[in-house]
Amino acid sequence: MTKITGATKVAGVVGHPVAHTLSPTLHNAWLAAAGIDGVYVPFNVFPEHFASFINGLRGGSLSGLNVTVPFKTVALTLADEVSERARLAQAANVLVFGPEGTVFADNTDGLGLLAAFAIQAPGFDPAAAPVAILGAGGAARGAAAAFLSAGATDIRIINRTVARAREIAADLGPTVSAHGLDQAGRAFAGVGALINATSAGLSGSGSLDVPIAATPATCVVMDMVYKPLLTPFLAQARALGRPTVDGLEMLIGQAIPAFRAFFGQAPPDGIDVRALAIQALGL
């Protein structure tokens, strides 16, 4: 445990609930390894108090916060300045408090997603082939925005409620198209990546029934859900011989730029936060 001093820099994660979050495990391990006088703590805030909680932190008593469910959208509306990627995702997972009282909103989930592909599917080129994204919530929108920024020219959003997929396509432009879940097989034709950005597959929730076999043999299959680490979706992809990328690598990938924003330096090398996270998940 980091020694707390009068000069300790404080950052954290805000959500409701928040007890399940792995972010304190990652950030505090990096802080300890780097010998930084800092600490990262969870804040469980009731939704009706979220705005006053954030506004009360103006002035820099905290250096910054990660934002998780259910506050990613509302966090954006409380910020004075919003990064382009957070604007495109219509969600913030990072808030940074300036000493002069400002709040800056950013979204590092897309960076985390691309970093996860770079690590677990080396050689994957996000611009080389169409991309299929399952889901139309904030995570799917952020993934589409990230792939758009990385040069993808054909992004297919596939969702149970097709109207939500159409909204994303209308907002992000002509390279993004909308499809119903019943059309998934057709939308999988020729894709270089298939991403599950639905919450199906989370421990205790329903599973996703889509024809992964309709993707090309080289298609990289990714699941944002990381509990369980090997979701039924990824297990099915592996059984078909598809290369896979998991949601834990994305979580670590989004935490790296967040750490830099909160503590002013990159996380130290040489600490296996993935192993620590797997231990914390009890996997």
Distance of CA 12 to the CA centre of its chain: 16
User: Measured from the CB atom, is 117 or 226 closer to ligand NAP?
Assistant: 226
Q: Could you confirm whether 72 is annotated as catalytic?
A: yes
**Quick check: 109 binds ligand NAP (CB under 6 A)?**
yes
- How far is Cα 119 from Cα 122, in angstroms, rounded to an integer? 6
Strand pairing class (81-82; 38-44): unpaired
Least distance CB 201 / ligand NAP (angstroms):
7
Residues in the chain: 283
Q: In what helix (H) or strand (E) does residue 59 lie, and over which residues does it extend?
A: none
**Quick check: 106 binds ligand NAP (CB under 6 A)?**
no
**Quick check: 87 binds ligand NAP (CB under 6 A)?**
no
**Alpha-carbon distance values, 226 to 80, 223, 233, 248, 277 (Å):** 32, 7, 11, 5, 10
**Quick check: 251 binds ligand NAP (CB under 6 A)?**
yes
**Quick check: 234 binds ligand NAP (CB under 6 A)?**
no
Interactions with ligand NAP, residue window 110-129 (CB under 6 A): 112
Q: In what helix (H) or strand (E) does residue 223 lie, and over which residues does it extend?
A: strand 220-223
**Quick check: 244 binds ligand NAP (CB under 6 A)?**
no
**Quick check: 24 binds ligand NAP (CB under 6 A)?**
no
- With CB under 6 A as the contact rule, the residue among 58, 87, 164, 274 that binds ligand NAP is 164
- With CB under 6 A as the contact rule, the residue among 8, 77, 153, 161 that binds ligand NAP is 161
**Quick one: tokens of 280?**
């914390």
User: Measured from the CB atom, is 73 or 102 closer to ligand NAP?
Assistant: 73
Tell me if 207 sits within 8 A of 198, measured CB to CB: no
**Quick check: 155 binds ligand NAP (CB under 6 A)?**
no
Strand pairing class (131-134; 193-196): parallel
Least distance CB 59 / ligand NAP (angstroms):
29
In 3D space, the residue among 208, 205, 145 whose CA is nearest the CA of residue 172 turns out to be 145
User: By the criterion CB under 6 A, which residues form the site for ligand NAP?
Assistant: 109, 112, 135-140, 159-161, 164, 197-200, 202, 206, 208, 224-226, 247, 250-251, 254
The residues assigned a catalytic role are 72
